[in-house]
Structure 1
Amino acid sequence: MENLLFQLAVFVVLFSVGFAFGRYNERKHLAELEVNEVRLAYITTDNQRMLTTDQLGQLVSSNVVISHDYFKFVLASIQNFFGGRLYSYESILERARREAVVRLKLQAEKAGATHIMGLRLSTTEMGMQGSMVEVFAYGTAIGVSQAHD
């Protein structure tokens, strides 16, 4: 009986520590994303595929893989049992999508571009029981004078 109580106490402590670090890391990542999104706001995006004859572009791409913390896994497992939206996974997908677009804009910035045309996002579930998500972003980086011709 003492051993069971000890194991339960260890689980609760580790679960709480994991929850605290997971929330801290998520908040830190969201704050970093917001700073980068504001800084890179001058690089616009759209999903048009067609380029006019004078537009020259360069393919830019990025990808990010984000895993969930153990707390979100447990919460999602409980929500999955009862059905409905998995809010804890939605936040992971949102962070991954935003990070992929920020990285894409950084690639465009390095190429001297101010616009990304034909933006596409692809999402893949990875790991055991969907413990990770990959978002791949790609598009054509073009300059501002070319974007408004």
Structure 2
Amino acid sequence: MDALIFKIVIFVILFAIGWGFGRHTEKKHLDALAEQEQRLAYITLDNSRFQTSADAGHLISSNVVISHDYFKYVLANIQNFFGGRLTHYESVLERGRREAIVRLKLQAEKNGATHIMGVRLSTTELGMQGGMVEVLAYGTAMLQLHCK
């Protein structure tokens, strides 16, 4: 009986340590994203389908693969059992989308563009049971904005 209690205590301690490190790493990533988003705010995005421009543009794309940690996986399975929103997976998707947009803006900045037209995001689940998600972002980088 004492061995079982000892194993449970060890599991809870390791789980808490892993969960803490996961939250810390995610917070660092979100802070870095916020910093980059603020720096790249001068590059505007437009997701209109039928917009044209007299200026030359070129296709740019970016992608990111984000994985959840084991602890979010366990919590999401518990939450899934009872139903409702899987907020643990929502945060993974949000991070992936934000990172893909930041990388897209970095591509535009590298090419000297200040506007991205026709921005699209595509999300694909990778791995078993939603282990990873890939977010692909693409659009047309424009040097000037003279849209019709």
Same fold (TM over 0.5): yes
> In structure 1, what is the equivalent of residue 75 of structure 2?
75
State the Cα distance separating 1:124 from its structure 2 match. 0.8
> Could you list the per-position Cα deviations for residues 7-57 of structure 1 after superposition, in whole angstroms to 9, with x for gaps in the alignment?
3233212211110011001100010000000000000001124323x2211
> In structure 2, what is the equivalent of residue 100 of structure 1?
100
Would you say how many aligned residue pairs link Structure 1 and Structure 2? 146
> In structure 2, what is the equivalent of residue 14 of structure 1?
14
Structure 1 unaligned spans of 5+: none
Tell me whether 1:133 sits opposite 2:146 in the alignment: no
TM-score for both structures, normalised by structure 2: 0.93
Is the deviation greater in 58-67 or in 36-45?
Answer: 58-67
Structure 2 CA distance, aligned partners of 1:110 and 1:95?
A: 22
State the Cα distance separating 1:65 from its structure 2 match. 0.8
Letter in 1 for 2:70: Y
Alignment of 1:1-149 (within 5 A): 1-49=1-49, 50-52=51-53, 54-143=54-143, 145=144, 147-149=145-147
Identity of aligned residues (%): 67
Where 1:139 maps in the other structure, the secondary structure is strand
Structure 1 CA distance, aligned partners of 2:7 and 2:61?
A: 46
1:101–1:137 Cα contact (<8 Å) kept: yes
Structure 2 unaligned spans of 5+: none
Letter in 2 for 1:31: D
Structure 2 CA distance, aligned partners of 1:121 and 1:114?
A: 19
TM-score for both structures, normalised by structure 1: 0.92
> Could you list the per-position Cα deviations for residues 51-105 of structure 1 after superposition, in whole angstroms to 9, with x for gaps in the alignment?
23x2211111111111111221111111111111111111111111000000000
2:55–2:146 Cα contact (<8 Å) kept: no
RMSD of Structure 2 on Structure 1 (CA): 1.3
